[in-house]
């Protein structure tokens, strides 16, 4: 009976965490470049039940020895192992702002993903799909958090004019002069990235390789556009209702076990 309590409680905790993840997806449905999380649910390690018995040998000495007979496996509950971002292309929306840049995938290997490279205040490189950039007082192209957007050489991009052009391959034309190229990083296995919040991702170990001049990777940049979130609002609402119903079902099971234990403690074995 106690094992049933634990299984129902683990189910409730799992659905609570899944609801929190889905709620975060819904809250970022209008965040540019946001990638929806998907829950990875796993079962706890299964137990192999066996029956132990004593067997007597049909000999004159009649020795006893133990023997185990497999009964079957028993699952001990479920848990949410991790939230995995879905790096599917979001819709492209026109804004008309020169500092807005949409990264459009056209030919990527399976599980691969492309990102802008940015630099935080400590000089560490981070990756993002949010092309909702701005230009600071010194002319540097930055994110809304103030992180520098990097070029193909790993340097912050500084513009001399507000009237600049970015071609589809990332080349920056400032005035009438070509001043550099926006770097685009390629992740061969996007699941290796660590989600940090604010649309930023990091990677332990060596930085991601550049996708520029790689004939096996296709992409284009669209100035004056942004990539919208890839959250499917209707599907997320459906999954939220499913998670709520699953939580409610586990809650009723837990209440049933609680009533059974109360009856066992207060009524069974009572002296009359």
**Does the residue 160 lie in any domain?**
yes
Question: How far is 218 from 39, CA to CA, in rounded Å?
Answer: 29
Question: Whole-model pTM above 0.85?
Answer: no
Residue 7 scores a pLDDT above 80: yes
Cα torsion 157, 161, 164, 169 to 10°: value is: -20
Q: Phi and psi dihedrals of 220, rounded to 5?
A: -150, 155
**Does the residue 82 lie in any domain?**
no
Per the model's pLDDT, the better-predicted residue between 54 and 235 turns out to be: 235
Contact criterion met (CB below 8 Å) for 127 and 187: yes
Question: Sign of torsion, CA 133 217 164 117?
Answer: positive
Q: So what's the pLDDT on residue 48?
A: 66
**pLDDT, averaged across the chain:** 87
**Does the residue 9 lie in any domain?**
no
Q: So what's the pLDDT on residue 272?
A: 57
Helix axes 2-27, 233-266, angle to 10 degrees: 160
The total of structural domains in the chain comes to 1
Give the model confidence (pLDDT) of 110-125 as tens digits.
Answer: 888 999 999 998 899 9
Q: So what's the pLDDT on residue 227?
A: 96
Of 98-107, 167-176, 234-243, 254-263, where does mean pLDDT reach its minimum?
A: 254-263
Q: So what's the pLDDT on residue 193?
A: 92
Question: How far is 81 from 42, CA to CA, in rounded Å?
Answer: 6
- Tell me the mean pLDDT in the region 58-78: 69
pLDDT band at 36 (very low <50, low <70, confident <90, very high): very high
**Does the residue 62 lie in any domain?**
no
**Does the residue 199 lie in any domain?**
yes
Q: So what's the pLDDT on residue 113?
A: 93
**Does the residue 187 lie in any domain?**
yes
pLDDT band at 202 (very low <50, low <70, confident <90, very high): very high
**Does the residue 153 lie in any domain?**
yes
Residue span of the structural domain in which 114 resides? 89-227
Give the model confidence (pLDDT) of 16-25 as tens digits.
Answer: 999 999 999 9
Residue 57 scores a pLDDT above 90: no
- Tell me the mean pLDDT in the region 58-74: 68
Contact criterion met (CB below 8 Å) for 221 and 104: yes
pLDDT band at 70 (very low <50, low <70, confident <90, very high): confident
- Tell me the mean pLDDT in the region 156-175: 90
**Does the residue 196 lie in any domain?**
yes
Of 51-60, 70-79, 90-99, where does mean pLDDT reach its minimum?
A: 51-60
Question: How far is 198 from 93, CA to CA, in rounded Å?
Answer: 20
Question: How far is 173 from 187, CA to CA, in rounded Å?
Answer: 27
């Amino acid at each position: 009976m106690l094992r049933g309590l634990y299984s129902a409680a683990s189910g409730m905790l799992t659905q609570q965490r899944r609801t929190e993840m889905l709620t975060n997806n819904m809250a970022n449905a209008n965040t540019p470049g946001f990638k929806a999380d998907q829950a990875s649910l796993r079962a706890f390690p299964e137990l192999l039940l066996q029956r132990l018995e004593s067997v007597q040998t049909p000999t004159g000495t009649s020795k006893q020895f133990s023997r185990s007979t497999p009964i079957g496996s028993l699952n001990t509950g479920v848990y949410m192992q991790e939230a995995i971002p879905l790096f599917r292309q979001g819709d492209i929306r026109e804004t008309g702002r020169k500092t807005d840049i949409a990264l459009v995938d056209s030919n990527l290997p399976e599980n691969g993903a492309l990102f802008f490279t940015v630099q935080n205040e400590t000089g560490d490189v981070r990756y993002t799909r949010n092309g909702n950039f701005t230009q600071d007082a010194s002319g540097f192209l930055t994110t809304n958090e103030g992180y520098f957007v990097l070029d193909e050489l790993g340097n912050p991009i500084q513009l001399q004019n507000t009237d600049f052009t970015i071609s589809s391959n990332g080349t920056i034309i400032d005035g009438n002069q070509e001043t550099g190229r926006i770097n685009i990083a390629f992740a061969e296995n996007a699941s290796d990235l660590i989600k940090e919040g604010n649309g930023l991702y990091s990677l332990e170990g060596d930085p991601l390789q550049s996708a520029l001049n790689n004939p096996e990777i296709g992409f284009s940049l669209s100035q004056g556009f942004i990539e919208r979130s890839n959250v499917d609002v209707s599907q997320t609402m459906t999954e939220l209702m499913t998670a709520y119903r699953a939580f409610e079902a586990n809650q009723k099971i837990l209440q049933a076990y609680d009533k059974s234990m109360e009856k066992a403690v207060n009524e069974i074995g009572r002296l009359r």
